[in-house]
């Protein structure tokens, strides 16, 4: 029969055969590593393009600025990477692959733990490490000496009265399996946290309060299975915020932060007693079903804007965002109630403000020692087309910059307690005071304990698999014609073990000589 006819007569695999072939390849360690790499590559778009769940306004602006590529990327899911079917498919395949790798290896490992070490090879001198030594003792005593020299780290099996097989390093494979099992726990924990967890950010000025409802968050990222109408009903009030900075002039640390402390009053539910907390960086406050982290801080300007008749059209603190280490903060004060046109102030809030010849208005120290505001003014439509933009910037597309009596763009330099009259009977602005604010990140992760402990176990398993050596030592004892015994030792290791021959030489040298 020719080779060609043999190939023709070879039966095809069939559905069951193809299923076994697919399962065998999916559950191989090579496939698991490939899927892990593919998952890392698939997550890259989430750090390159804005994500709709985190910042929908920025995502919409990006699509509007890129009318060709924006819609294509949106259809491919690049603006919602972690909720796309292709990302979920890679995630699930990786989980299945790891489970399929771990379970058979665990079964084999348990069988090895219950079984006996392998039989002693006939030719020990062909093993990677070999040594022999003559002892002034009968074979039984010589074999007992070898067993004692191996110690308790080895599982020893004596056969036929003159051979010995010993094996150590089972914890290496145990650590390897622990690492992969814990990795499954990490993957499951991250998935559970993504599906049933949520996180939100909010800025709270000193004296302000926050209740845990979806509408009160500046940004909210709920999981697919989270009902935002059922968030934990806690409330908090920011009573005080303390910040300290290095103020020794001349040192390299001048102006560097030393401590931030937010003093909170919280209630877990309506009618529950209040509790006091001190919130610090890396020291979150645990609430019912959520954890509160101190994410940032800065300054807000408490201002009052009046129209030409003295009627208050805007009052309250307006948050400014710091853009350097000295808290030179930028922001916008929007006055939609102004008549006949809406007003929008823009500029900087300076905790310790000066005007320099090169840089203009800046802050020279992060603490509020001499606060000032440097503002300009636009009038017109704040939200053209009804679209709401960022609260920290002005959309000047449908606005006109206000000028002073000399025809130059209006520049306002104002300190707390001062009032500036606006040109053209537009009213006035009063800078009442500077208010500190705290940026809070509130998170709920139902699987954080699973993820944490799985990560620690994975680290422990990885260390064990890297540091522990898997070795097998064999011994054969022969009686010498002149009396005494000759001990032949052989050893092999699983993987590279450059110290195997040295170990066997030391083992032989430790036996009582002839």
Separation CA 397–CA 381 (nearest Å): 8
Is-contact 163 156, C-beta < 8 A? no
Residue with tokens 């390849």: 25
Mean pLDDT of the chain: 90
Q: What is the DSSP letter of 308?
A: T
**CA 108/CA 405 separation, integer angstroms:** 89
Task: Enumerate residues 6+ apart whose C-beta is below 8 A from 451.
Answer: 185, 186, 189, 190, 193, 445
| Start-to-end Cα distance in the chain | 66
* C-alpha to C-alpha distance for 416 and 509, rounded to whole angstroms: 86
Please state the three-class secondary structure of 455-474 as a single string: HHHHHHHHHHHHHCCCEEEE
Residue 58, C-beta contacts closer than 8 angstroms, at least 6 positions apart: 50
Strand partners, 363: 353
pLDDT at 251: 65
133 contact partners, CB below 8 Å, separation of at least 6: 486, 487, 489, 508, 509, 511, 513
> How far apart are alpha carbons 359 and 375 in whole angstroms?
15
pLDDT for 447-471, tens place per residue? 999 999 999 999 999 999 999 999 9
174-183, 387-396, 410-419, 504-513 — which is least confidently predicted?
Answer: 387-396
Q: Is the peptide bond before 369 cis (omega within 30 degrees of 0)?
A: no
- pLDDT at position 6 is 46
Contact 425, 232 (CB under 8 A): no
Cβ-defined contacts of 393-400 (< 8 Å, 24+): 393/332, 393/346, 394/332, 394/334, 394/344, 394/346, 396/344, 399/344
Residues of the chain with CATH 3.30.310.80: 116-169+469-509
* 116-169+469-509 classified as CATH 3.30.310.80: yes
**Helices vs strands, H then E, count in the chain:** 10, 23
Q: What is the residue whose two structure tokens read 């002039």?
A: 249
The pLDDT-based confidence of 130 (bands split at 50, 70, 90) is very high
The pLDDT value given to residue 1: 45
Residue 314 and residue 386 in contact, taking contact as beta carbons nearer than 8 Å: no
- The first and second tokens of residue 156, run together, are 């020893």
Q: Are 45 and 81 in contact (CB under 8 A)?
A: yes
User: Which string of DSSP letters, residue by residue, matches 198-247?
Assistant: EEEEEEEETT-EEE--GGG-SEEEE-TT--GGG----EEEEEEEEEEE--
- Annotate 261-272 with DSSP letters as a single string: EEEEEEESSTTP
Q: How far is CA 335 from CA 386, 394, 432, in A?
A: 15, 11, 16
Res. 178: pLDDT tops 90? yes
Neighbours of 76 (CB within 10 A): 12
User: How sure is the predictor about 12, in pLDDT bands with cuts at 50, 70 and 90?
Assistant: low
Range from 117-121, 246-250, 410-414 carrying the lowest mean pLDDT: 246-250
Q: What are phi and psi of 169, to 5 degrees?
A: 90, 20
Tell me the C-alpha distance between 264 and 291, whole Å: 13
pLDDT over 60 at 3, yes or no: no
pTM: 0.74
Rounded to an integer, the average pLDDT of 137-152 is 91
């Amino acid at each position: 029969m020719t080779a060609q006819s043999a190939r023709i007569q070879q039966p095809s695999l069939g559905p069951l055969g193809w299923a076994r072939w697919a399962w065998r390849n999916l559950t191989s360690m090579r496939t698991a590593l490939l899927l892990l790499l593919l998952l890392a590559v698939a997550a890259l778009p989430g750090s390159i393009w804005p994500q709709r769940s985190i910042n929908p306004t920025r995502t919409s602006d990006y699509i509007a600025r890129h009318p060709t590529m924006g819609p294509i990327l949106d259809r491919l899911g690049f603006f919602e990477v972690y909720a796309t079917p292709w990302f979920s498919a890679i995630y699930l395949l990786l989980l299945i692959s790891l489970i399929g790798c771990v379970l058979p290896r665990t079964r084999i490992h348990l069988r090895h733990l219950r079984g006996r070490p392998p039989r002693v090879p006939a030719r020990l001198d062909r093993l990677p490490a070999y040594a022999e030594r003559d002892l002034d003792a009968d074979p039984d005593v010589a074999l007992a000496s070898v067993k004692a020299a191996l110690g308790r780290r080895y599982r020893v099996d004596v056969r036929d009265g003159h051979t010995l097989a010993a094996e150590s390093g089972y914890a290496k494979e145990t650590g390897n399996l622990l690492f992969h099992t814990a990795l499954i726990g990490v993957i499951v924990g991250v998935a559970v946290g993504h599906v049933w967890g949520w996180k939100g950010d909010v800025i709270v000025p000193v004296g302000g309060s926050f209740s845990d409802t979806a509408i009160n968050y500046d940004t909210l990222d709920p999981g697919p299975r989270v009902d935002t109408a059922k968030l934990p009903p806690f409330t908090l009030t920011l009573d005080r915020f303390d910040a300290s900075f290095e103020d020794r002039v001349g040192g390299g640390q001048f102006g560097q932060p030393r401590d931030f402390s937010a003093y909170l009053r919280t209630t877990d539910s309506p009618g529950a007693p209040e509790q006091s907390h001190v919130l610090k960086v890396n020291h979150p406050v645990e609430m019912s079903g959520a954890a509160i982290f101190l994410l940032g801080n800065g300054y807000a300007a408490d201002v009052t804007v009046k129209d030409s008749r003295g009627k208050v059209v805007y009052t309250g603190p307006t948050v400014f965002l710091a853009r350097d280490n000295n808290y030179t903060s930028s922001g916008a004060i929007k006055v939609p109630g102004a008549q006949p046109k809406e007003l929008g102030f823009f500029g900087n809030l300076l905790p310790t403000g000066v005007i320099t010849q090169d840089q203009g208005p800046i802050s020279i120290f992060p603490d509020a020692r001499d606060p000032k505001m440097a503002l300009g003014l636009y009038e017109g439509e704040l939200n053209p087309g009804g679209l709401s933009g960022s609260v920290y910037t002005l959309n000047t597309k449908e606005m006109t910059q206000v000028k002073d009596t000399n025809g130059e763009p209006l520049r306002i330099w104002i300190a707390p307690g001062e009032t500036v009259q606006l040109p053209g009977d537009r009213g006035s602005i009063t800078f009442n005071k500077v208010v500190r604010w705290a940026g809070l990140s509130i998170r709920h992760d139902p699987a954080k304990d699973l993820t944490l402990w799985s990560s620690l176990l994975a680290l422990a398993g990885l260390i064990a698999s890297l540091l522990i050596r898997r070795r097998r030592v064999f011994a054969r004892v022969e009686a010498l014609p002149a009396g005494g015994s000759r001990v032949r030792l052989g050893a092999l290791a699983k993987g590279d073990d450059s110290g195997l021959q040295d170990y066997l030489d030391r083992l032989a040298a430790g036996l009582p000589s002839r």
